[in-house]
Amino acid sequence: MPLKRTKSELKVQRESLKRFQRYLPTLQLKKQQLQAEVRRVEQAQRDLALNREKLRKDLDDWVALFGEEQPFEEWLSLKKLELGTQHIAGVDVPTLKQFEVAEDVPDRFARPAWIDEGMRALKADLEMGVQLEILRRQQGLIEAELRTTSQRVNLFEKVKIPECKENIRIIRIALGDEQVAAVARGKLAKKKGEAAA
């Protein structure tokens, strides 16, 4: 659509420019917050993965004992997994609210003594796995919002604001030319009126 070169269009362009310039810092701040959150979630994932790896290395001592057939999948079952949500820089991300594993282990006196420690380690490993998955989901959601926000920042910085400034410049030139032409027409009319009189 061609640009109107009128005072009302000039006013519209100025208001749009003010609105874009007022909204841009908010978008830039949101982008910074999202970038910080992505870094935080990535660090939390690394830390949790290291802890899980350490736990698994500690379990190496138990591997020989785990070699004996034990029905751990029958003894351990997920009792409760409750997720919550947290609002981070405009994004609702899942959080682990509650995690419980049910133990249905036969008589403690009729089983090997190492089973208790092994069960604790397996429960911890299970919980860390759930936490890692939640952190991956958080990262995906935050990164998606970061992409959208970055696109908006770029749209405002590189397209909308320069476009409004250029439109304002063009309209001002056109209005200035019209004013000069009106003055010139007025002088010509005055000279013709004086000549006729």
State residue 119's pLDDT score: 75
- The answer to whether residues 81 and 91 touch, using CB atoms and an 8 Å cutoff, is no
- Residue predicted with more confidence, 14 or 56: 14
- The answer to whether residues 99 and 127 touch, using CB atoms and an 8 Å cutoff, is yes
The 3-state DSSP composition of the chain as helix, strand, coil percent (nearest 5) reads 75, 15, 10
Q: Which of 13-27, 115-129, 132-146, 176-190 has the lowest mean pLDDT?
A: 115-129
Please state, in angstroms and rounded to a whole number, the distance separating the CA atoms of residues 98 and 83: 7
State residue 56's pLDDT score: 82
Q: Is 113 helix (H, G, I), strand (E, B) or coil?
A: coil
- Backbone dihedral angles phi then psi of residue 57, each to the nearest 5 degrees: -65, -40
Q: Give me the amino acid identity at 93.
A: V
State residue 59's pLDDT score: 73
Question: What are the residue ranges spanned by the domains of the chain?
Answer: 7-186
Helices and strands (H and E) in the chain: how many: 4, 2
pLDDT digit string, tens, across residues 119-164 = 787 888 888 989 999 999 999 999 999 999 999 999 999 999 999 9
Distance, C-alpha 46 to centroid of its chain: 19
- The answer to whether residues 59 and 121 touch, using CB atoms and an 8 Å cutoff, is yes
CATH 1.20.1250.20 fits 7-186, yes or no: no
Residue 68 has pLDDT above 70, yes or no: no
Please state, in angstroms and rounded to a whole number, the distance separating the CA atoms of residues 95 and 11: 47
State residue 118's pLDDT score: 72
Beta bridge mates, 85: 94
pLDDT grade for 62, boundaries at 50, 70 and 90: low
Q: Out of 66-80, 160-174, 176-190, give the one with best mean pLDDT.
A: 160-174
| Residue carrying the six token digits 């020989």 | 64
Q: What is the arithmetic mean of pLDDT over 71-93?
A: 80
Q: What is the arithmetic mean of pLDDT over 80-94?
A: 88
**Measured between alpha carbons, how far apart are the two ends of the chain, in Å?**
48
Q: Out of 69-73, 123-127, 145-149, 186-190, give the one with best mean pLDDT.
A: 145-149
> Encoding tokens for residue 172?
């001002």
